[in-house]
């Protein structure tokens, strides 16, 4: 478990990055195209929104009102400023919130969105917590870190045994979604370019953080993560699951 001081340092590191995890505008749009044609989207909840890499695309592409939550207030300040700059201030509400606190999230949502955030409360817990938030027939789009191969190399396995011991394969995640009461409409792997862009966007903030605060273990672990991807990135990645709560 990440210590509070380490978590604060990690969250601060990502304040100036384009995204807080692998993803892209193209990937968000790809997932939106997988939503069923009969889904009316008027209310969207973006869970773990960061600085709004997906939030703004959702507002622009769906025309819906998007409520975006995150635990780190500075991310939301950035999101509000960018939403205003794009003329979306009236369709984006950003607020501090805990994605695991179902009672505070409301219900009746048409669409829940969680790119790269479900792992923070555990994928299975996230699926079970969020399902009641959807209206019948509503959809959840979630990305989850998975193995792409049956036998990962030792460096990759050792890294994720420490960083994400719950990590498993694609089929197991699909089965878990079905057992949690969702219909699986589509799945696809995020492209490697999403990861490369994410790490490229992290270079300058990481360099500046080390210059200001010294080479803290949090920063060393972030570099190690990139090194693992560069050597073993074909063995794992994010799987996007497009899920629906049955009517």
Strand 65-70 and strand 43-47: the pairing is: parallel
Token representation of residue 44? 């969207």
pLDDT at 5: 86
**55, 92 contact by CB (below 8 A):** yes
Rounded CA Rg of the chain: 18
Strand 183-189 and strand 168-169: the pairing is: unpaired
pLDDT at 2: 59
pTM here?
Answer: 0.95
- Encode pLDDT of 39-65 as tens digits: 999 999 999 999 999 999 999 999 999
**65, 58 contact by CB (below 8 A):** no
Q: Which fold, 22-201+234-244?
A: Rossmann fold (3.40.50)
Report the chain (247 residues): mean pLDDT per 10 consecutive residues: 78 94 97 98 98 97 97 97 97 97 96 95 96 98 97 94 94 98 98 97 96 93 95 97 97
Element (H, E) at 180: none
Return the domain boundaries, the chain: 22-201+234-244
């Amino acid at each position: 478990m990440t210590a509070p001081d380490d978590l604060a340092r990690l969250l601060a590191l990502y304040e100036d990055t384009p995204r807080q995890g692998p993803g892209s505008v193209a990937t968000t749009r790809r997932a939106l195209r997988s939503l069923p044609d009969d889904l009316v989207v008027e209310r969207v909840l973006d869970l773990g929104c960061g600085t709004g890499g997906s939030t703004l695309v959702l507002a622009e592409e769906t025309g819906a009102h998007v409520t975006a939550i995150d635990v780190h207030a500075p991310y939301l300040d950035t999101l509000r400023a960018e939403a205003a700059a794009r003329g979306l201030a009236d369709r984006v509400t950003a607020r501090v919130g805990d994605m695991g606190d179902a009672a505070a999230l409301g219900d009746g949502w048409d669409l829940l969105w969680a790119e790269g955030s479900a792992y923070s409360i555990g994928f299975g817990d996230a699926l079970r917590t969020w399902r009641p938030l959807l209206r019948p027939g509503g959809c959840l789009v979630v990305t989850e870190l998975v193995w792409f191969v049956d036998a990962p190399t030792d460096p990759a396995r050792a890294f994720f045994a420490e960083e994400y011991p719950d990590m498993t394969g694609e089929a197991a995640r699909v089965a878990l979604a079905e057992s949690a009461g969702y219909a699986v409409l589509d799945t696809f792997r995020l492209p490697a370019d999403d990861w490369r862009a994410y790490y490229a966007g992290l270079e300058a903030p990481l360099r500046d953080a080390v210059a200001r605060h010294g080479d803290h273990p949090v920063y060393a672990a972030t570099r190690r993560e990139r090194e693992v991807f560069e050597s073993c990135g074909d063995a794992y990645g994010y799987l996007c699951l497009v899920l629906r709560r049955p009517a």
